[in-house]
Amino acid sequence: MHDTAREIARRFFAMYVHDRSVIVEIGARDVNGTLREVCPGCAAYIGLDVEPGSGVDVVTSAEEPLPVAAESADVVVASSVFEHDTFFWQTFLEMGRIAKPGAVIYINAPSNGTYHRYPTDNWRFYPDCGQALELWARKNGYLLHLVESFIAERAGDIWNDFVAVFMKGPTRSLDRVQYLSDDVPCTNVWRTGETSVQRARELSEDMLLIKRLREEADNLRGGDAQPEPIRDEAALLISEIKLLREHLASLIDRTESVHKSLDLVDAVQRSEGERLRNALIHCTSEAASLLESLQETQARARSTFANSASSGTGCKDTKVIGM
């Protein structure tokens, strides 16, 4: 029996059970605790279960009528049982059958929690289950009315309990001074005679915890919720990364500029080299032409002076260049 199941049951007995004489518990075998432990000692207590064991006074069969006379119990209780019951709605009718007029019926069943087979795990219970069970009982001829129901907040364990208290009788009007839901941290409270849920909350406590953890994770990723030394170191690292990225971007720009300059130099060098090669070819051609003209001129000069010498009319001091 988990912590809140035990504590809420203790408060239920203290609040609802005073001079009651006969208490019947459905699923009474002591596996990890039993309601008998928190029940007033003056009561006559009858524990029913499908298996013999500690806490079991009468062994019954699953899916069969309870071996208890009709309208004989002042209080009928079932805690952490309905999730394992294949036909819990039939068991609820049996609880209504054995309850005396004016008797109290108490149910505690998980609204969340792990998969735990004993021997099966079939159901979870939500805020409006109390009204549904009341309607089911009345459709089957049992005048049960919901006094209160709620979803209890967890304590040290993982469970949220759906808790419902019913009374057997012809009227729905109760003048209660105190409710369990006033004494237990809880949400989604229904009470007799009320037409709307009190302390309504859409998210289950599991979902709310997940939402808070996600918000905390988002804050940690953003740095807002970090301890100051870690936050300062993170800020320095972020600044350093920013500077490195800026330097890298600058280096990339410079590298691209160098590539463009190299391409331009290559283009200019190729163009200048072509021009020089063409000029060299032109100069070589012109030099060859000049050499050819020079050779022709020298030949003519030799021929002219040779003719002059033979005729005696030439100038003796005259020399032909290159001869």
pLDDT tens for 68-79 read 999 999 999 999
d(CA 57, CA 251): 86
pLDDT for the residue numbered 190: 96
pLDDT for the residue numbered 245: 75
- Of the candidates 157, 149, 163, the one whose C-alpha atom is nearest the C-alpha of residue 79 is 163
> What residues of the chain score a pLDDT lower than 70?
171-175, 223-236, 239-240, 243, 247, 257-259, 261-262, 265, 268, 287, 305, 308-323
